[in-house]
Chain A
Amino acid sequence: MRRQTKYSLRRKTIGSVPLIDPVLGLIARYSSTLLLLVVFLIVTTVGIFVMRDLHTTNVEAQKMYVGSVLGLRRIGELQYEAQETRRATFYALTTDDSNLQIEYADQSREADRLVNEGIIEYLRQARTPHEIEMASRLQDDWSEYLKVRNEVLASILEGSTREAVDLDLAGGVQSFDRVRQDLEEIKRLYDEQASQRLANVVATSRRFAIRLIAVLAFTLIFASASVWAIQRSKMLAAIQLANLQMEFVASVSHELRTPLAVISSAADNIVDGLVSGKEELQRYGSVIRNQSRQITELVDQILLFASTQDRRSRYVLRPLQISQVIDSVLDNTSELLQGAGFVVERQIEASLPCVLGDLSALSQCLRNLIVNAVKYSGESRWIGIRALLADSEDRASREIQITVQDRGIGIDRLEMSHIFEPFYRSAAVIAAQIHGAGLGLSLAKNIAEAMGGKLSVVSELALGSAFTLHLPIMEEQELKMTAASFDSTPLIQI
């Protein structure tokens, strides 16, 4: 019943991809959900990076708008209000009506108030030394101009138009030109800053676009690879299952054909009158009976496996004395063991506590382990059966350990993880023409787990193997309750 490399079968069936197929095998064995989770995590991470880039670009654009566009608009307003200050002063020159002149003077003063506010705001927002210097210069030049403007307004209101014009020509024009130059300089400064920020935004956008394309491409490739891997792993799993089934059918057919051939041959001899005498007839009858039992056992194993696989098996649990179970199994296999000339070494601790289990299933489990030991003992004709009370692996409780040991061919370390898989038989076993369906260990493991225990193995190639059945013991109180329950309801089914 041992190992045949199923991956070698698969490689023969489809084109193999070195390094990838083992990974795909792992995916097929576990779950493609893990792969999808990885894809999701990667896409989420990428999404976070993309969002961060978007945010950065957005912040840059906002800074550019606030810093440059609004700044330029402010400078435009400043220029307009400065012109308005001067324009309203000149309007006052155009009339002799003092009331109108006062109105124009008011307009001029209102405009100059707005200019002052704008300059203060610009000064407040100035960051670089150059900006601060420019703002201070503008403030000074504007104050100079306002002094002249006030004199001009006074002259106009006094009625001295000529004097007002002279004053403006003497000082107003120059000082206002300086203000205008200051505003142009500030505007140029804003233009430069806007250009620089625009260049930054463009560079950031370009970086973002490249990164986004790269990320999308990577995500697309990774997603495609993932889908391909999932599909391939599923396909491999399906092919593997089909191969195993075909191998199983072939193996079972072979296992059936051998005893059938013996039975058929014996029957032919009897019919052809080649068998004479009572003794010879008995010998033929015995051969036919043994081969029939072998066929029956094989069919039973298959049916049992099928029933455990569809999860419909029902076990009747009851307190069992392990020594009695072992003795019973040894009795049942004594013919096999004695026929093959095996020495059985039996070590069972006295007064072992009871375990809760199904007698038939547990017997089947032990029988499978003993039959396996017989099959793979090679030239050695020794089997050891040991039962003892020990701590469980996590030392949290006590358990009964039943070990079936042989000194046979052993198991390759690489195949240890596959020997409990159904239908699994190694290439070496097949080559050695050791018959079997690859179900015995799988069945034994299922039964052990159904009894709340487990099946472990220790093996060295060419030195032999030891399979240990771990069964939890029943506490005294639990035992009493179960016994009472068993008295009232004879069956405990799981």
Chain B
Amino acid sequence: MPRRGTILPVFIGAGFLAGALSFASDLHPLIPSEPPTASEQNLAVVVNLSNPIENLSMAELRNLFLGERSHWPNGRRITLVMMEPGQPERAAVLSLICQMSESDFKNHFLHGLFTGEVFVSPKTLATPVGVRKFVFNVPGAIGYLRATDVDASVKVIRVDERLPEEKGYKLHIPPRPSK
């Protein structure tokens, strides 16, 4: 039976190791944290090609999608693009980024616009193609698309330093509902 004086450093060492591994897995894309299942797809956050922004944290994303920021660092007005309610991409954004239900999200904007706490009212588009074209046309636009719907007309930004194809990316959506 080990002595009491030797067990404590072992626990402390194991705790450090676990913490380090956990930190490394968050930072390094090669160390998976929660890989998407076969039925899931990554959700890409996209901006206009002229937008210099490269990376946003989840917190910054939340602020943006809740309309709590009005301008980009380059002075361009922010235009928020959402897909219509019922779309899995929108549901994923609401749950993963805004951490709200559909009704909470609507109430947030109604209340915020009334009180002046919210500066941007989201534009609602019916299709991913519409979202992509909108972001392409508006320099201050930010929206989201399935990674498979992205093309060269828009720019994908990193979320917490990770691109959708990298391990450890946090925004996943379920597959499109079958029609």
CB < 8 Å A-B pair total: 38
Q: 9 closest A-B pairs (Cβ-Cβ)? A: A98-B123, A154-B138, A158-B79, A157-B138, A102-B133, A102-B130, A105-B137, A99-B126, A157-B137
* Residue in A105, A154, A160 with the greatest tally of chain B CB atoms within 10 Å: A154
**Complex CA distance for A443 and B57, rounded to whole angstroms:** 132
Q: Chain B residues near A159 (CB, 8 Å)?
A: 79, 121, 123
- Check: A366 CB closer than 8 A to any chain B CB: no
Q: Contact between B137 and A98 (Cβ–Cβ < 8 Å)? A: no
Q: Contact between A102 and B134 (Cβ–Cβ < 8 Å)? A: yes
Q: Chain A residues near B138 (CB, 8 Å)?
A: 154, 157-158
Q: Contact between A98 and B77 (Cβ–Cβ < 8 Å)? A: no
Label chain B's interface by main secondary structure.
mixed
Q: Contact between A157 and B121 (Cβ–Cβ < 8 Å)? A: no
**Complex CA distance for A153 and B127, rounded to whole angstroms:** 19
**Complex CA distance for A160 and B141, rounded to whole angstroms:** 13
Q: Contact between A98 and B130 (Cβ–Cβ < 8 Å)? A: yes
Least CB distance from A134 to B in Å reads: 31
Interface string of A429-465 (1 = CB under 8 A from B): 0000000000000000000000000000000000000
Q: Known: A98-B130, A98-B134, A102-B133. Contact between A158 and B77, CB under 8 A? A: yes
- Check: B124 CB closer than 8 A to any chain A CB: yes
Q: Contact between A154 and B139 (Cβ–Cβ < 8 Å)? A: yes
- Check: B147 CB closer than 8 A to any chain A CB: no
- Check: A106 CB closer than 8 A to any chain B CB: yes
**Complex CA distance for A84 and B125, rounded to whole angstroms:** 24
Least CB distance from A112 to B in Å reads: 12
* Contact residues on A (Cβ < 8 Å of other chain), bracket: 10 to 19
Q: Which residue of B lies closest to A154 (CB)?
A: B138
Q: Chain B residues near A160 (CB, 8 Å)?
A: 77
Label chain A's interface by main secondary structure.
helix
- Check: B140 CB closer than 8 A to any chain A CB: yes
Interface string of B64-105 (1 = CB under 8 A from A): 000000000000010100000000000000000000000000
Q: Chain B residues near A158 (CB, 8 Å)?
A: 77, 79, 138, 140-141
Q: Contact between A105 and B133 (Cβ–Cβ < 8 Å)? A: yes
Q: Within A140-181, which residues are at the interface with B (CB < 8 Å)?
A: 150, 153-154, 157-160
The contact sample of 26 A-B pairs, CB cut-off 8 A, is A98-B124, A98-B125, A98-B130, A99-B125, A99-B126, A102-B125, A102-B133, A102-B137, A105-B133, A106-B133, A150-B137, A153-B137, A154-B137, A154-B138, A154-B139, A154-B140, A157-B123, A157-B134, A157-B138, A157-B141, A158-B77, A158-B138, A158-B140, A159-B79, A159-B121, A160-B77
A positions within 8 Å CB-CB of B: 98-99, 102, 105-106, 150, 153-154, 157-160
* Residue in B126, B127, B138 with the greatest tally of chain A CB atoms within 10 Å: B138
Q: Within B132-146, which residues are at the interface with A (CB < 8 Å)?
A: 133-134, 137-141
**Complex CA distance for A465 and B140, rounded to whole angstroms:** 125
Least CB distance from A98 to B in Å reads: 5
**Complex CA distance for A160 and B125, rounded to whole angstroms:** 17
Interface string of B135-162 (1 = CB under 8 A from A): 0011111000000000000000000000
**Complex CA distance for A469 and B112, rounded to whole angstroms:** 140
**Complex CA distance for A154 and B135, rounded to whole angstroms:** 9
Least CB distance from B38 to A in Å reads: 32
Q: Chain A residues near B134 (CB, 8 Å)?
A: 98, 102, 157
Q: Which residue of A lies closest to B78 (CB)?
A: A158
Q: Chain B residues near A154 (CB, 8 Å)?
A: 137-140
Q: Known: A157-B79, A158-B79, A159-B123. Contact between A99 and B130, CB under 8 A? A: yes
Q: Which residue of A lies closest to B48 (CB)?
A: A154
**Complex CA distance for A157 and B139, rounded to whole angstroms:** 10
Q: Which residue of A lies closest to B81 (CB)?
A: A98
**Complex CA distance for A160 and B121, rounded to whole angstroms:** 12
Q: Chain A residues near B126 (CB, 8 Å)?
A: 99
Q: Chain B residues near A157 (CB, 8 Å)?
A: 79, 123, 134, 137-138, 141
Q: A150-B137, A154-B139 are in contact. List 12 more A-B contacts (CB 8 A).
A: A98-B125, A98-B134, A99-B125, A99-B127, A102-B133, A105-B133, A106-B133, A154-B140, A157-B134, A158-B138, A159-B79, A159-B123
Least CB distance from B137 to A in Å reads: 5
Q: Which residue of B lies closest to A160 (CB)?
A: B77
Least CB distance from B140 to A in Å reads: 7
